[in-house]
Amino acid sequence: MPDLARPRPTLLLLGGTTLLAVVVLALPAPALGLRITAIVVAFHVGMLALGRWAPGWPTAWAVLAPLSVLMVLPDWFLSAELGTLVFPDTGAPFLGTVPVFMAGMWTMALFPLVLLGDAVESRGGPRAALVAVAVAGLALFWAAELLAPVVPLWEPVGVRLVGGVAAYVLPAEVVLAVAAWLLVRDVDSRPRVRTTAGVVLLPFCYLGLLATSYQVLG
């Protein structure tokens, strides 16, 4: 799907979300979890609204939003069964052991990487885009894992930390970033059923990678 990374809507979405997050997180009320949920919802609404100027965005949202919802399942397993992840009660409703805002937060992380892949591919080709998405995904998720306990969003428990983050999650998150980019990149050239299958299967592949990585690095 070419021409996703249009400068004006990209700046409006990412800059606007950043500004909103700074303001809303600084407020004393309501509960932190509700404020985070509001930021996540605003990002999704903005992504769809700005699709008027970036026609590929609603299609990208249709791939990433359900993927983000299904990503609750690996988080649920890590927090409820493996016991390596804790989500503090910040006032948001929970889906099992996972705050409801996590059902939309993965889109917020993955869509900028999709935009980066599109921008790099248009200039340097698909190999350069793949490397860019992988490297940027590693940096983004490293930063997210480092900052999450500070907010607080989540916290690793009983696992090996490298550079302040749970090392075992990073390989799986890099693969997730690249796979999500590929799902969106080729969405117009594959049957819808294959895209649906990819969206459904990717969270389970991610969970398998997490389990393997935990055995080696956890």
Three-class HEC string of the chain? CCCCCCHHHHHHHHHHHHHHHHHHHHCCCCCHHHHHHHHHHHHHHHHHHHHHCCCCHHHHHHHHHHHHHHCHHHHHHHHHHHCCEECCCCCCCEECCEECCHHHHHHHHHHHHHHHHHHHHHHHCHHHHHHHHHHHHHHHHHHHHHHCCCCCCCEECCCCEECCEECCHHHHHHHHHHHHHHHHHCHHHCCHHHHHHHHHHHHHHHHHHHHHHHHHHC
Q: For position 1, what pLDDT does the model report?
A: 57
Neighbour tally for 25: CB within 10 Å? 12
Q: For position 22, what pLDDT does the model report?
A: 94
Which parts of the chain have pLDDT scores under 50?
A: none
Compute the half-sphere exposure of residue 209: CA atoms within 13 Å on the CB side of its CA.
16
Pairwise CA distance, residues 51 & 12, whole Å? 12
Q: For position 6, what pLDDT does the model report?
A: 83
The first and second tokens of residue 202, run together, are: 């990717």
Q: pLDDT tens for residues 179-200?
A: 999 999 999 889 999 999 999 9
Q: pLDDT tens for residues 74-112?
A: 999 999 999 999 999 999 999 999 999 999 999 999 999
Q: For position 43, what pLDDT does the model report?
A: 98
**Is pTM beyond 0.75 here?**
yes
Q: Which residues pair with 40 in a beta bridge?
A: none
